[in-house]
Amino acid sequence: MSRGILFVLSGPSGVGKGTVCAALRRKLPELIYSVSATTRAPREGEQDGVNYFFKSRDQFRHMIETDALLEHAEYVGNYYGTPRDFVEKTLSEGKDIILEIEVQGALKVREKFAEGVFIFLMPPSLNELKQRIVGRGTESQATIDHRLSVAVEEMNLLHHYDYAVVNDEIELACNRIDSIITAEHCKRERFLGELFQQLEVANTADNI
**137 marked among binding-site residues:** no
> What residues pair up with 80 in beta bridges, in sequence order?
38, 73
Q: Which is nearer to ligand 5GP, 18 or 124 (CB)?
A: 18
Q: Which is nearer to ligand 5GP, 77 or 204 (CB)?
A: 77
* 101 lies in the binding site for ligand 5GP (CB under 6 A): yes
Distance of CA 117 to the CA centre of its chain: 9
Tell me how far apart the alpha carbons of residues 147 and 135 are, in angstroms, rounded to a whole number. 12
Q: Which is nearer to ligand 5GP, 105 or 123 (CB)?
A: 105
**Cβ-contact 120, 9 below 8 angstroms:** no
Considering only 73, 133, 148, 173, the residue that binds ligand 5GP (CB under 6 A) is: 73
Residue nearest to ligand 5GP as judged by C-beta position: 105
**Which segments of the chain does DSSP mark as H helices, in order?**
17-27, 57-65, 84-92, 103-112, 126-134, 141-155, 170-185, 189-207
Taking the complex as a whole, the smallest distance from the CB of residue 12 to ligand 5GP amounts, in Å, to 9
**201 marked among binding-site residues:** no
Considering only residues 10-49, where is the footprint of ligand 5GP by CB under 6 A?
13, 17-18, 36, 40
* 75 lies in the binding site for ligand 5GP (CB under 6 A): yes
Q: What sign for the dihedral angle of Cα 69, 72, 76, 77?
A: positive
The CA-based diameter of the chain, rounded to the nearest angstrom, is 79
Considering only residues 136-175, where is the footprint of ligand 5GP by CB under 6 A?
none
User: In whole angstroms, how far apart are CA 194 and each of 3, 24, 190?
Assistant: 12, 30, 8
Residues of each annotated binding site = 11-18
- List of residues contacting ligand 5GP (CB under 6 A): 13, 17-18, 36, 40, 71, 73, 75, 80-82, 100-102, 105
